Structure 1
C-alpha cells in the first residue's frame, strides 16, 4: 500500500497537467491562508487624509508597502512634531515616500540635528512642510547649518524655501558656495541675497559660470558692484544675454524718445525698468507724456515711476490731481514724482480727505478708479 501511494504521488508531481500549487495548497491547513493585501490608496485616504485623486497619484510611489506598520510610525512622528492633520496630509501628498522613512534610523536623527542648530519644535514643524524630500535625508542638517549663516536668519531661509525647495538638494561645494562667494564679492548682504533669490529662485542653484555672466551683464548696465542697485540689476538681467539686454534698452529709448545718456541714467537709477513689458511701457508713455504732459527727460531722471502700477496707482492719482486742478482745489503745483511715491494712506490724507465738503464723491470715485473704472467726474468733457 505504501508503495502504491508513493507511485501515485510521484506521478502527480511529474505530471505537466496537474498544477503543483493546487497540490500544495490542498495540503496546507485552512488556518494558514494568506493575509489580505495592504490597500495603499485606501490608507492614504482614510488614515492620511489625502483626497482620492492625490492618493491615486501618491500610491504609485508606495506600491511596495505591504503593511501599515512603517507609515503608522511616520504619521505618529510627524504628529508629535506638531503638524496638524491637514499639514500631515499636505506633506504626504508632496512627498509620499516620507511614509517609508525609518523613524529611528533617519527621521529622529534629523530632528535631533535640527534641534542642535537651535531650531525650536514649531520651527522644525514649519521646516518639515517646506523641505520636500530633503527632510528624510541626513545631509539636510549640515546644509541647513550653512544656509542659516548665508541668509542670516531662519525666517529668510523659509521665505526662500517657499519658492525653491530644490535649494536643499543642490551641490553645496560645486554650485551653492561659489555662487554665494560671488554675490558677496558684489557687495550683496545676506538679507539681500535672500531677497534676490526670492525674486530669482534659480539664482543660487544655477551654474556658477552662468551667474558670472549675469554679473558681467549687470555691470555692463553701468551699475557698479557694491551699490544698492546692483541686486536689482542682477534681477533685471536674469538669464538674459547682452543682445537681449541691449534690445530692451533700445526699446526704452524708442518708446520714451530718450537719448543714449538718458537711457543709461534711467537704467542705472532703476534697473527694474528692463523687466516691464513693451505694451505696459507704451501705455505708461501715453498716460504720463501724452495725457499728463511730463517731459521724457523728467521720467528718465525718475525712472521708478515706470515701475508703479498703472491702474492701481499712476492713472487714479493723475485723475485726482486733474480733477482738483480743474475745480480750483489745489493751491500749488505738485511734483508728480512726489505724488506717485506717497503710500495710498498718505495720498488719501493729503488729496482726498481735505476736500470732503467740496468734493463729497471724490473718495468713492478714486476707489473706483483704482479698480480700473473711470467715473464720470474724471472723464474729459
Structure 2
C-alpha cells in the first residue's frame, strides 16, 4: 500500500513543477503534514534542487555513448533519457567484459542501442555469470555476440530461473547448440519458454504432431510457438479444417503460413493467384502440396508467375500442379536453369518431356551432369549461359521465343 501511494503521488507532482522554488515550497508543505512519506519526498526534493546538474550528467552520458559505443549523436541523446551515469568506471568494465568474450564493436553498438541499461549493470553479479554459462555449454564467442545482440532480452532474464531452464528445454528438442543459437537469434519470446512455448507444444502433441515435426517447427519457425495459447489454438484449428493431417510435415508448413499473415493479407495473395488464372481447385491443389506458396510476397508471386507464364509459356494450371517451382529463387535458380533449357529446346537437343519439378528440384550435381556437361560439346557456351556470363541475345535467343507448351 505504501509503495503504491508513493508512486501515485510522485507521478502527480513532478509533471506540474513550474520551477524549483515553487516545487520546494509545495513539497515542504506536504512534508509537514505527512510524515509517513518524508523519506520519499525528501529524495524527490533533492532531485528538484539538482535539476540544474542533470544536463551535465546527461552530457557525459551522451559523450560516452558516442565516443565509446560508436552511436550517433541523435541516438546517444535519446538513450541518455533512459539511462545516465556520471563516471566511466562501470561502463568501461562492461565494455571490457564484452570484448573479452569476443564481441565486435558493431555488436556492442547494436546491443547498447537496444539495451543501454547493461552499461550500469553489475559485471560480477549480473553479466559475467551469464556469459560464463553460455561459454560453458559450448557456444562460440562469435555466436554469443550474435545471440545476445539479436535477442537482448537475455540481459534482463534470470540465469537460474529462465536462461538455464530455457537452454535445457531447447536441448531436449533440437540436436545441437548451433540450432539452439539460431532459435535464440530469431525468437525473442523463447527466453521464457515455460510461459508460451511449452503449452503450445503440449497442444501439438495432443493432436498427433510428431516429435520430428515439433523439432522442425522449433528450428525453422520458432516464433510460431511464441503465440499466445488462445491465438495458437485458433491457428491449429484453422489448419486442420483446411484438410491437413497433423502427423505430416505439410501440417507444420501450413501452420507456419497461416500464422505469418493477417486475414486481409491472405485474401490479397489469393486475389493475386486468381489474377494469374488460378481456379479455387488450382489454389488448394498448390497450397496443400506446398503451403509455402502463400508465404511469398505479392511482388514475389507476380514476378515468378510472369516468368513462368509470359516468358516460358507455361499454363497457369501447370504451375499450380508443380507449386514447388514457386519456392525457388528466381535469380539464383529458376532463370539460370531455364536459360539452359531454352537453349537446349530451341536447338532440338532435348527430345523428351521434362516436368518442371524435375528441372527445378534436381540437385546441382545432377543438373550439371544431365543438362550442362552432357551437351557442352554441342553448345560450348552452355556453362557461361548458366552462370549468366553469356547473354542469350548474343545467340539470337530470348525468352520471348516460347517453346511449344508440351515441351516442358
Change (3 A) 1:361 1:280: same
Per-residue deviation at 1:269? 1.4
Q: Please state how far the C-alpha of 1:277 moved relative to its aligned partner.
A: 5.0
**Is 1:377 paired with 2:396?**
yes
- Find the counterpart in structure 2 of residue 153 from structure 1: 176
User: For residues 215-246 of structure 1, what are the alpha-carbon distances to aligned partners after superposition, in whole Å with 9 as ceiling and x for unaligned?
Assistant: 12222222210102111111221255779757
What's 2:99 paired with?
Answer: 79
Whose Rg is larger? Answer: 1
Structure 1 position 192 matched with structure 2 position 216: yes
Q: How does 1:28-43 map to 2 (within 5 A)?
A: 39-43=60-64
Residues paired across the two proteins, number: 338
1:221 to 2:236 alignment: no
Aligned equivalents of 1:247, 1:304: Cα separation in 2: 21
Alpha-carbon RMSD: 3.7
Measured in 2, the distance between the counterparts of 1:266 and 1:121 equals 41
1:326-377: per-residue Cα shift (whole Å, max 9, x none)?
A: 2232343333321121344543443233434433333333433999x86553
What displacement does 1:134 show?
A: 2.4
Any residues of structure 2 matched to 1:73-152 within 5 Å, and which?
73-111=93-131, 113-114=133-134, 118-119=137-138, 122=141, 124=144, 127-138=147-158, 139-152=162-175
In the alignment, structure 1 residue 238 sits paired with structure 2 residue 259: yes
Name the one with the larger helix percent. 2
Query: Does the CA-based 8 Å contact 1:151-1:191 persist in structure 2?
Result: yes
> Structure 1 residues 61 and 151, CA, compared in 2 at 3 Å: closer, same or farther?
farther
Contact residue 156 and residue 194 of structure 1 kept, 8 A: no
Q: Contact 1:127 / 1:158 at 8 angstroms: preserved in 2?
A: yes
TM-score, normalised with respect to structure 1: 0.72
Residue 29 of structure 1 corresponds to none
Is the CA contact (8 Å cut-off) linking 2:107 and 2:145 kept in structure 1? no
Q: Is the Cα–Cα contact under 8 Å of residues 333 and 360 in structure 2 kept in the other structure?
A: yes
Give the Å deviation of 1:78. Answer: 2.4
CA contact (8 A) 1:223 1:268 kept: yes
Point out the more displaced range, 212-221 or 127-136: 127-136
Contact kept? 1:214, 1:239, Cα under 8 Å: no
Matches within 5 A, 1:1-20: none
Cα 1:167–1:374 change in 2 (3 A) is farther
**Distance in 2 between residues matched to 1:100 and 1:290, nearest whole Å:** 60
**Aligned match of 2:39:** none
User: How do residues 276-315 of structure 1 correspond to structure 2 at under 5 angstroms?
Assistant: 276=296, 281=301, 284-285=304-305, 287-288=307-308, 292=312, 294=314, 298-315=318-335
CA distance in 2, matches of 1:288, 1:121: 44
What is residue 387 of structure 2 aligned with on the other side?
Answer: 367
TM-score scaled by length of structure 2: 0.68
Unaligned runs of at least 5 residues, structure 1? 1-33
Task: State whether residues 74 and 98 of structure 1, in contact with CA within 8 Å, keep that contact through their aligned partners in structure 2.
Answer: yes
Contact 2:322 / 2:357 at 8 angstroms: preserved in 1? Answer: yes
> How big is the shift at 1:106?
1.9
1:288/1:294 contact within 8 Å kept: yes
- Are positions 1:177 and 2:198 aligned together? yes
